Amino acid sequence: MIKLMLKITMLSSVFISLSTLASDGFYFKYLNEKIVAYSDKINFCDDTKVTPVFSKVELASLKKIVSKKAPVLSYLSIKSYNECLQPERSELAELLLSYNYVDVSLYTKKLAISTGKLIFIRDFEGLQLYKTLNNKDKNFIDSIGGFKKPFNELEVFEIIMGM
């Protein structure tokens, strides 16, 4: 979904660029380059998604945790994906924030705002539930190597729940 919205944003930025390049070409072009680099990194991270392999002991423990707090799995998926998106994600975030303090055209500012809304809106439910896990469960989850790389959370949920 984010991938599709980012492509739409990129396409709209190309159309807007014709009218804005004359007025603030550098700022618009630089933002557009960062959006393209971020989009390329999304493709890379999508291509590197893995399906973790769990031991029977890990599956049993994960099933207990996930059956009570399923959004934790979503949080872990987003966290691993965001780590894969580095450094492009951080560079884009820094640029979007800095454009609040630079005199850029309205079109460039709108592109920056819409890109930020598409990329950096976050659901905190999974994080909140992760933070409520006891230290033993957190340490256990954090020790699983399969959660360090991007993964498909629905597929992993089905594996854990034995579906």
Q: What is the pLDDT along the chain (163 residues), one digit of tens a residue?
A: 555 555 555 545 544 444 444 556 889 999 999 999 999 999 999 999 999 999 999 999 999 999 999 999 999 999 999 999 999 999 999 999 998 888 888 888 899 999 999 898 777 899 999 999 999 999 999 999 999 999 999 999 999 998 8
pLDDT at res. 163: 80
Residue 73: exposure state from Cβ atoms within 10 A (0-12, 13-18, ≥19): buried
State pTM to two decimals: 0.77
For 82, other C-beta atoms within 10 Å of its C-beta total 14
Q: Which residues contact 35 (CB under 8 A, 6 or more apart)?
A: 6, 9, 10, 13, 92, 115
